[in-house]
Amino acid sequence: MPRTHELKINILSYVYSKFKYPASRREGGGGWLRFQKVLEMSNKENIKYHLVTFRFLQNPIALGIPLTIVSMFQALARTSRMVKLWNIHIILCPIEDPWVVISAYLSSKITNRKFAVFLNSVPYFGLADAPVFKVESMKISYTVLLKNIQKTSKSRVRTLLGAFLWYVAFRMLRSSSTHIICLSSVLADELSKLDMKKRVISIYPGNGIDFDTISSVQLGIAKYDAIYAAGSLLPQKGIFDVIKIWDAVVKDQPTAKLAIAGRVNPEHLYLIEELNCLISNLGLSQNVTVICDPKKGMSQEALWEEMKCAKIFLYPSRKDVWSLVIGEALACGLPVIAYDLPGIKYAYGACPAVCLQNVGDVEGAAKTAIKLLSDDSLLRNLSHKACQYAENHSWTHVVELERKAYLAILES
């Protein structure tokens, strides 16, 4: 067998058929974007990823769920041949999505290969609208999941099926054969309080910043005083908090402009209606621009161009571990105002251009925004420090650490 530093590690990873590689659009949250970047860099570190795709269908639910299950089992049927053909070492779930967890776990059992899953958040902690869904044991019941999932879905059938899927995936994550890779020591610490301590690997930094590519995007004409962006526009990502913050800013600076950019899933279109309604009710229609195309999504470059048209980045997310979009904002030279979540503090707390506020402190965030927008000298200084920080966080280093994690799993 080759020495560990020479070993080419073959990874079989399950993804949805809509997964785009190489990355061209923000088709999902930070977890999928992270995986896309790792794929681009992996060959340099002697890691070869092989993708198994299956279709994920939601609508209509009576037809979508059965067809998804059929597609998943068709993918599983291809697994044995692929494992032998490519000499697969590890079956990987790149994100804690229940369908992907279930598919990858079953595949590992069928082929007798190591199973690893990347956790971008503590599973189920963010299911409720509250910042953190507290549990005292990993032995979460189906009833507990059901009560929390029903707060985020308007469909009773979807709620019941969603709770069941999460419950099954959760049981698989707790399996003694599952290896957990955390992108933050904050996650590892949370899980160690439960019952996963022996199977948790933490890597830091867990995410990189594509500084060179972002720097190459042309600097646009200033259109906004601030911008907010997220992979998915959801309440737990702060879309309503940012409007409340901007309402307070506008009271001090009546002409201040805010842009909200991101992606919304078809089943969450009602959130955009609620968002526009709130903007109108607060009299902010001339102060807030919503940039969102549910059908086409938004390219990475288009988002960075919009970011470079702003002065500061607002990100009052109530559920996050290691936000890629904060790193992108820093690379665009934007000071960031965010809530003091443990994961964000862990990832970006050392950056002087990241101003952290207590979770839910709309008034404090607004005061910080007003302070930054009123002081050009301070803004220029923090912009320079933002770029310096971003430049020192490369994806190459992230992939090096990922290889070490895989080697640790193979040697376990």
Domain ranges of the chain: 9-208+395-411, 211-391
Chain segment 328-369, per-residue pLDDT in tens: 999 999 999 999 988 788 788 889 999 999 999 999 999 999
Report how far residue 114's alpha carbon sits from residue 126's, in angstroms, rounded to the nearest whole number: 28
Q: DSSP states of 33-54 as a string?
A: HHHHHHHHHGGGGTEEEEEEEE
- Tally: H helices and E strands in the chain: 15, 12
Determine which helix (DSSP H) or strand (DSSP E) holds 327, and give its type and residue range.
helix 324-331
Determine which helix (DSSP H) or strand (DSSP E) holds 117, and give its type and residue range.
strand 114-119
Which amino acid belongs to residue 324? L
**68 touches 99 (CB < 8 A):** yes
Residue 128's pLDDT is 35
CB atoms within 10 A of CB 203: 20
Chain segment 146-187, per-residue pLDDT in tens: 555 545 555 565 666 767 787 788 888 878 889 988 877 777
3 state SS of 211: helix
Alpha carbon separation from 93 to 84, 180, 307, 369 (Å, rounded): 19, 10, 31, 39
Whether CATH 3.40.50.2000 fits 211-391: yes
3 state SS of 50: strand
Q: Taking 60 as the threshold, does the pLDDT of residue 24 lie above it?
A: no
127-131, 141-145, 269-273, 309-313: range with highest mean pLDDT? 309-313
Residue 257's pLDDT is 96
Report how far residue 229's alpha carbon sits from residue 233's, in angstroms, rounded to the nearest whole number: 8
Chain segment 200-220, per-residue pLDDT in tens: 888 888 888 888 889 888 877
Structure tokens that stand for 292 in this block: 């969102």
Residue 147's pLDDT is 56
**30 touches 120 (CB < 8 A):** yes
Which amino acid belongs to residue 97? D
Q: What DSSP designation does 399 have?
A: H
Q: What DSSP designation does 322 have?
A: S
Q: Which residues pair with 16 in a beta bridge?
A: 54
Domain 9-208+395-411 in CATH: superfamily? Glycogen Phosphorylase B; (3.40.50.2000)
Q: What DSSP designation does 7 have?
A: P
Structure tokens that stand for 298 in this block: 């938004």
Residue 136's pLDDT is 45
Same fold, 9-208+395-411 and 211-391: yes
Which residues are CB-neighbours of 387 under 8 A, at least 6 positions away? 211, 215, 330, 331, 333
Mean pLDDT of the chain: 81
Q: Sign of the CA dihedral 55, 25, 28, 324?
A: positive
Supply the pTM of this predicted model.
Answer: 0.73
Q: DSSP states of 360-383 as a string?
A: T-HHHHHHHHHHHHT-HHHHHHHH
Alpha carbon separation from 88 to 21, 41, 114 (Å, rounded): 20, 19, 9
